[in-house]
């Protein structure tokens, strides 16, 4: 069965490979994201992952498509990827010394069969000085990450603790995804593409 990851995220690609799925194509969704402003973060990530999966599935209906979307939320405010250095500084300042939630929506579909879910993980940031925030932004790592940090990179030094799925914070809830894949007849623990 042909498997497609509807994302160009190198982190999601690496996590799929860690799960044992080495024979898959990368075909990122290109469509414009459409959301109702009243959605909760959970609904938002699920809806975005569905949009991405359906876009690719319409082009390749026989393939198994995996799509995901991740956001960070604190005090009801959703933080996506920063659009500027200043926005990255503002996000990191907001997260400093606080607990926030990382939500990832994931959709798996093939033809008309579709499953969608989300994972929520609590992340506690240590108290950061303005100098630490600037130094981290200077690494450029925050610029393509929801919430302006990457826990799997140099951003690990910002995180005091995590409650929940670590891989969800990286961008793909692998335990949840493995269960979804099994319902499509794909066993991640089996050898794929070797």
Q: Among all residues, which ones are annotated catalytic?
A: 69
For residue 120, the surrounding DSSP H or E stretch is: strand 113-125
Q: Which residues of 16-112 form beta strands (DSSP E)?
A: 25-26, 64-74, 77-79, 99-110
Name residue 77's beta-bridge partners.
74
DSSP H or E stretch at residue 122: strand 113-125
Are 109 and 117 in contact by the 8 Å Cβ rule? The answer is no
Q: Provide the 8-state DSSP code for 84.
A: S
User: Are 103 and 71 a contacting pair, CB within 8 Å?
Assistant: yes
Please give the structure tokens belonging to residue 134: 């600037």
CA distance 145 to 140: 10
Determine the Cα–Cα distance for residues 180 and 125; give it in Å rounded to an integer: 31
């Amino acid at each position: 069965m042909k498997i497609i990851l509807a994302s160009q995220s190198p982190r999601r690609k690496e996590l799929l490979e860690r799960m044992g799925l080495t024979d898959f194509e990368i075909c990122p969704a290109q469509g414009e994201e459409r959301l109702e402003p009243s959605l909760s973060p959970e609904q938002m990530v699920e809806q975005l992952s569905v949009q991405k999966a359906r876009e690719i599935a319409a082009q390749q209906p026989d393939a198994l498509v995996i799509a995901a979307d991740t956001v960070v939320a604190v005090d009801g405010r959703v933080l996506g990827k920063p659009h500027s250095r200043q926005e990255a500084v503002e996000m990191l300042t907001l997260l400093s010394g606080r607990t926030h939630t990382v939500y990832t929506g994931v959709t798996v579909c093939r033809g008309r069969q579709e499953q969608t879910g989300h994972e929520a993980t609590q992340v506690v940031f240590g108290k950061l000085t303005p100098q630490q925030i600037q130094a981290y932004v200077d690494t450029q790592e925050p610029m393509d990450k929801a919430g302006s940090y990457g826990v799997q990179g140099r951003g690990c030094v910002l995180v005091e603790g995590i409650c929940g799925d670590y891989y969800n914070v990286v961008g793909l809830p692998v335990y949840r995804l493995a269960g979804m894949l099994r319902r499509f007849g794909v066993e991640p623990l089996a050898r794929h593409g070797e």
